[in-house]
Each structure stands twice: as structure tokens, then as C-alpha cells.
Amino acid sequence: MPLQRRIPFSVALRHPVLGVTTRSGWLIEGEAGWGEWSPLPSWSREEGETAHRGALEAADHPFPMALHDSVEINTMIPRVPPEVAAGMAVAAGCRTVKVKVGDPEGEARVRAVREAVGPTVHIRVDANGSWDLEEAIRRLHELARLDIQLVEDPVPTLAELAHLRRRCSIPVAAETSIRTIEDVAEMRRLDAADVLVIKPQRIGGVAIALRAAELAGIPVVVSSALETSVGLAACLAVAAALPASLYAHGIGTASLLAQDVTSDPLTPVRGGLVLRRVEPDLLLGSPS
């Protein structure tokens, strides 16, 4: 069956995320439903091509068998002022909050979130590789006082992660440096991380994300690339097919969009998402 249609989309973000203010791409309809192709501006041409293959897979093939009907997710707080971060964390109602750091307000942002959500909520931090090794050690020593569950990408490379992991009391997660299956193998060879954070779109789709998770040999967190709810459905399918984990998945980003492509977006209820496909009903009148 040929593809029925490809629909372009462009949606604004409520808050910039590392300079990204708008998410644009294509929604692709196939035999199984809808897939999303929306490579981030920072991705290479090869990563964009890999993401396209993942979108076609999501459109043409059923999602894998789920081990869970729903998954726990974290909310994500961009580099916003601390008082805004605190309000966003409380409003989300999730048991895990990921806070972007790596900027001058990073520690104040985390402190404001901790004060707002109290001691029972897990807080993760994500530096997006902003620090060198020695700065990461200093920063994480300070942040450890705020009871941090996990630090994602404190340094930019797997080799640096491997060194940091041996000098840091906070569990370390790799995401930015993981773009291919080969990167996962190298992460495991170096024993560089306690947790793998994987973006299914960037690595090439649902099936290869699950292969990467199996190869990793450590807990896996599935993370969005700020997709619309159509793309988030594929991320959710990966998370639902993985064994249960102590770590919530990073798929709660639909709330960061000023407007989604569907009237029934994948927004969390009591910190969780129920597995389902999403139809872009707000765009279905668009031309092919």
C-alpha cells in the first residue's frame, strides 16, 4: 500500500529549549498509522536520514508488543527562570522532574524546583554536555546536596563520562553521545554510564531503539526529541515494550508545545501515559 499522505507541520514551543523555538517536520501516513519526521536543527544530515527511516517504520509497521499498558514519565523543565521552573514542576504533577542546567541559573533553578516539589519527588538534571570534566565534578558536588537522582550528559563525550562516573556520587546517564548502535556498544565497552537515555527518532525508529536497549545492558530511559504527540506515540511504544524500570521516561514534552497536531495530545495524567497511537486530526484537512 503506498503512503496515503505527507503533511507538513510547524508548531511553536512555549519556552525555548536550547535555542529551539519551533518544531517543524512532516507527518507520514502508512499502513499502520502515522509517523513523524522532525529532526532537530542540530542533527546531522545522516541523523536526519536515519530519523526519516524511523518515521516510515512507525507509519508502516505495528508497534511492538507492549509489556505495560502505561508508563511513568518525567516532566522536563527548560532553562527558564527559577520561579517559572518551580511553577512548571508543581503544575506537571509528575513524580520525577528533569531540570535543564549548564547555564548560570542552573543550580538556582534546581533549588527552586526542590523547594517547590518537596523531598519525595525525584529530580534529574541535564547539562547537555555543557561542562568539562573538572567543572562537572564541582557542579555535581554542589547539586548532590539537593538529592539528585540522575545527571544526564554532564560532559560531552563517552570517554569523559567514563572518567566522571568514577568520581561522582550521582548516577550518570548518556544521551547526546548516543546516536547509533555503535555508540551504544562503545558506551558499554567503556562502562561509561549507569543509564542510557535514548531518542528513538534519532537512532532510527522503534525497532532499533529496542535493539540498542538490549545491547546497553543497563537501565534505559526513552526520551523525546520535542516531537508532536504523533512522534511521542512511537517513543511511548518503545518505553512500553521495555522491562519495568526505576526511572521514569522522558516523554512528557507535549505540554511544551504551544499547540499540538491533535485534539487529543499525549499529555500525562497523574504522571503517566497510556499506550496508544495518535491521529493528527487538526491537520487532516491539509493538502498532501
Which residues partner with 195 through β-bridges? 173
What does the pLDDT look like over 246-270, one tens digit per residue? 999 999 999 999 999 999 999 998 8
Which CATH topology does 70-274 take? Answer: TIM Barrel (3.20.20)
**Among the options 199, 203, 208, 260, which is catalytic?**
199
Residue 164, CB half-sphere, CA atoms under 13 Å: how many? Answer: 31
Contact by Cβ (8 Å): 82, 108 = yes
For the chain, the domains span 5-60, 70-274
Contact by Cβ (8 Å): 243, 64 = no
**Residue scoring higher pLDDT (4 or 43):** 43
Helix or strand holding residue 13 (H, E): strand 5-17
Give the pLDDT band (50/70/90) at residue 288: very low
The domain covering 5-60 belongs, at the CATH homologous superfamily level, to: Enolase-like, N-terminal domain (3.30.390.10)
**What integer is the mean pLDDT of 4-31?**
95
**What integer is the mean pLDDT of 211-228?**
98
What Cα–Cα distance (Å) separates residue 39 from each residue in 215, 239, 244?
24, 20, 28
What does the pLDDT look like over 170-183, one tens digit per residue? 999 999 999 999 99
Q: What percent of the chain has pLDDT over 90?
A: 95
Contact by Cβ (8 Å): 46, 37 = no
Give the pLDDT band (50/70/90) at residue 284: confident
pLDDT value of residue 285: 64
What does the pLDDT look like over 113-151, one tens digit per residue? 999 999 999 999 999 999 999 999 999 999 999 999 999
**Among the options 52, 100, 124, 165, which is catalytic?**
100
**Annotation says 199 is catalytic:** yes
